[in-house]
Amino acid sequence: MKSLHQRAIVYCVIVVCGSGVSAQPKGFNYDESKVPEFSLPDPLVDASGNAVDTAKAWVNGRRQEVMALFADHVYGRIPETKISLTSTLIESDSKAVNGRATRKQIRLDLSRGDRKVSLGLLMYLPNLEGRASAGTFVGLNFQGNHTIQNDPRIAVPTSWVRDRNDGSVKQHRATEAGRGIASSRWPVEKIVARGYGLATVYYGDIDPDFDDGFKNGVHQLFPDSADGTPTGNAWGSIATWAWGLSRVVDYLEQDKDVDAGRIILMGHSRLGKTSLWAGAHDERFAVVISNDSGCGGAALNRRRFGETVQRINTSFPHWFCDNFVKYNDNEDELPVDQHMLLSLVAPRPVLVCSAEDDRWADPHGEFLSARFADPVYRLLGTDGIAQTTMPATNEPLLSRIGYHIRPGKHGVTLQDWQVYMDFSGKHLPRPKREN
Ligand code: GTR
């Protein structure tokens, strides 16, 4: 480990991980033997070439430097302007989930001057009867709060939704037909049975997921940075969704039914990329979980395995800042790689989850990020990752940097949730109240 503090990491792997290849666009590399040799920037060497060898030097110096590098070259800067937040309880039912939970729907009004944007927050909090909450999962959903459970009382979003051909969206508006269509990804009953709560918001309420020149969603609150031509390090959608997650925490801190010291952030795919950047920014997330986050998330860019920087910037030009385009087919020039993003979560627990057939997201590259974040965790006096080789499928590493790979494809399963809950249960501080 010591040598990692002193020199750039040179790493070339010839490992075959996983076998099935499905839903993998053609023309990209899925062959470990073709991963180029590369040299990773060392999180523990600062911009002047000095070793960062004390916790203080990381916390007070290098960490800010790395935050700024990700903001300026990858995700864009999140505005620091304060906005005001008010909450209105729209609906609640203390007998939800067969009496095991209280469902609450809350409108969060974010305003600045005479501009206002509203987010719909859906919560399930276990009816604990004197027991302490195990923690509250916070996660954005892809298609609307009404899709996570088939329940006519859940509000359907009114904001823009990506069109689908199953009747659940018409002309970019969600319909009743979408109720419960994403429920397999949100096993509410199992979550509350283990004493956890859940808080979710439709990500399109924060920023609709299409390239409109940064004018809609919460960008309306920042007309100064939304002139239609974001350049350089102006925030992209991932940073915007991350900002929205912090506003949800602003609310949760005021909700007496939530233990704000036990908030667990979970995100899948583009929202897994988002959870890592949000978790880096906001230390109120006590545990940070990325599921199948791939390129721009946990996977190392320099491996160019599966999705590449060029491809993601071409398919989703609004996700990152404009400066990220400079690294299209030019990954070695990036001043960071994604192991440094995981390092920014330190010393808090971080869990990276992959799926064997999700080779587009490069499971092995996701594991390597976790592995190379380890020196920062150790510098901060915690255990990092329990092993330096990729664990076998279905054998989760629940060390402070956790990693899990399951069989199957890109998605969120009950098995994934069980690992999230095992990991959170192991690492969260003891609850405030015990029976
Ligand atoms: C894919 C994209 C991935 C991932 C995924 C998702 O098309 O290439 O990076 O983010 O979308 O978010 O569903």
Q: Check which CATH number belongs to the domain holding 331 and give it.
A: 3.40.50.1820
Closest CA to 231 of 311, 325, 327: 325
Looking at the domain assignment, is residue 272 inside a domain? yes
Q: Which domain holds residue 393?
A: 73-427
Report the alpha-carbon distance of residue 247 to residue 243 in Å, rounded: 7
Q: What mean pLDDT is predicted for residues 265-271?
A: 98
Looking at the domain assignment, is residue 398 inside a domain? yes
In the reported structure, the alpha carbon of residue 203 is separated from the centroid of ligand 1 by a whole-number distance in angstroms of 14
Looking at the domain assignment, is residue 45 inside a domain? no
Q: Decide if 312 contacts 295 (C-beta within 8 A).
A: yes
pLDDT value of position 18? 31
96-105 pLDDT per residue, tens: 999 999 999 9
Token pair of 318 as six digits: 């609004």
Q: Decide if 296 contacts 282 (C-beta within 8 A).
A: no
235-253 pLDDT per residue, tens: 999 999 999 999 999 999 9
Q: State percent of the chain over pLDDT 70.
A: 92
pLDDT value of position 229? 52
295 lines ligand 1 (CB under 6 A): yes
In the reported structure, the alpha carbon of residue 51 is separated from the centroid of ligand 1 by a whole-number distance in angstroms of 36
315-352 pLDDT per residue, tens: 999 999 999 999 999 999 999 999 999 999 999 999 99
Looking at the domain assignment, is residue 251 inside a domain? yes
Looking at the domain assignment, is residue 22 inside a domain? no
Looking at the domain assignment, is residue 24 inside a domain? no
Which residue from 22, 28, 269 has its CB within 8 A of the most atoms of ligand 1, so it is best to mutate? 269
Looking at the domain assignment, is residue 17 inside a domain? no
Closest CA to 96 of 136, 130, 137, 125: 125
pLDDT above 90: residue 6: no
Q: What mean pLDDT is predicted for residues 171-190?
A: 97
Contacts of 256 (CB under 8 A, 6+ apart): none
Q: What mean pLDDT is predicted for residues 56-78?
A: 97
**Regarding predicted confidence, which is higher, 50 or 129?**
50
Cβ atoms within 10 Å of 5's Cβ, excluding its own: 17
Q: List helix spans (H) across 168-288.
A: 188-193, 203-206, 237-252, 270-281
185 lines ligand 1 (CB under 6 A): no
Q: Which long-range contacts (CB under 8 A, 24 or more apart) does 91-94 make?
A: 91/153, 91/155, 93/153, 94/127
Report the alpha-carbon distance of residue 369 to residue 295 in Å, rounded: 11
Q: Which residue type sits at 290?
A: S
pLDDT above 90: residue 4: no
Residue corresponding to tokens 């959870």:
275
What pTM was estimated for this model as a whole? Answer: 0.94
In the reported structure, the alpha carbon of residue 48 is separated from the centroid of ligand 1 by a whole-number distance in angstroms of 35
Q: How confident is the model at residue 224 (pLDDT cuts 50, 70, 90)?
A: confident
Q: How confident is the model at residue 214 (pLDDT cuts 50, 70, 90)?
A: confident
Strands (E), 96-214: 101-112, 115-126, 135-141, 169-170, 173-174, 196-202
Lowest model confidence (mean pLDDT) among 181-190, 319-328, 421-430: 421-430
pLDDT value of position 399? 98
298 lines ligand 1 (CB under 6 A): no
In the reported structure, the alpha carbon of residue 361 is separated from the centroid of ligand 1 by a whole-number distance in angstroms of 8
Q: What mean pLDDT is predicted for residues 396-408?
A: 98
Q: How confident is the model at residue 432 (pLDDT cuts 50, 70, 90)?
A: low
pLDDT value of position 12? 35
Q: Quick one: which atom of ligand 1 is closest to the CA of 269? A: 12
Strand pairing report for 9-11 and 38-40: antiparallel
269 lines ligand 1 (CB under 6 A): yes
Report the alpha-carbon distance of residue 16 to residue 275 in Å, rounded: 28
Report the alpha-carbon distance of residue 281 to residue 241 in Å, rounded: 12
Lowest model confidence (mean pLDDT) among 1-10, 19-28, 348-357: 1-10
143 lines ligand 1 (CB under 6 A): no
Q: Decide if 260 contacts 253 (C-beta within 8 A).
A: yes
Q: How confident is the model at residue 225 (pLDDT cuts 50, 70, 90)?
A: low
| Number of domains present in the structure of the chain | 1
Q: Which residue type sits at 417?
A: W
Residues with active-site annotation: 269, 410
Which residue from 316, 320, 412 has its CB within 8 A of the most atoms of ligand 1, so it is best to mutate? 316
Looking at the domain assignment, is residue 64 inside a domain? no
pLDDT value of position 130? 86
Bridge partner residues of 402 (DSSP): 351
Q: Quick one: which atom of ligand 1 is closest to the CA of 307? A: 8
Strands (E), 20-100: 38-40, 84-95
Which residue from 22, 238, 270 has its CB within 8 A of the most atoms of ligand 1, so it is best to mutate? 270
In the reported structure, the alpha carbon of residue 346 is separated from the centroid of ligand 1 by a whole-number distance in angstroms of 26
In the reported structure, the alpha carbon of residue 358 is separated from the centroid of ligand 1 by a whole-number distance in angstroms of 11
pLDDT value of position 230? 54
Q: Decide if 92 contacts 157 (C-beta within 8 A).
A: no
**Mean pLDDT computed over every residue of the chain:** 92
- SS3 for 26? coil
pLDDT above 50: residue 9: no
pLDDT above 90: residue 177: yes
104-136 pLDDT per residue, tens: 999 999 999 999 999 999 999 999 988 889 999
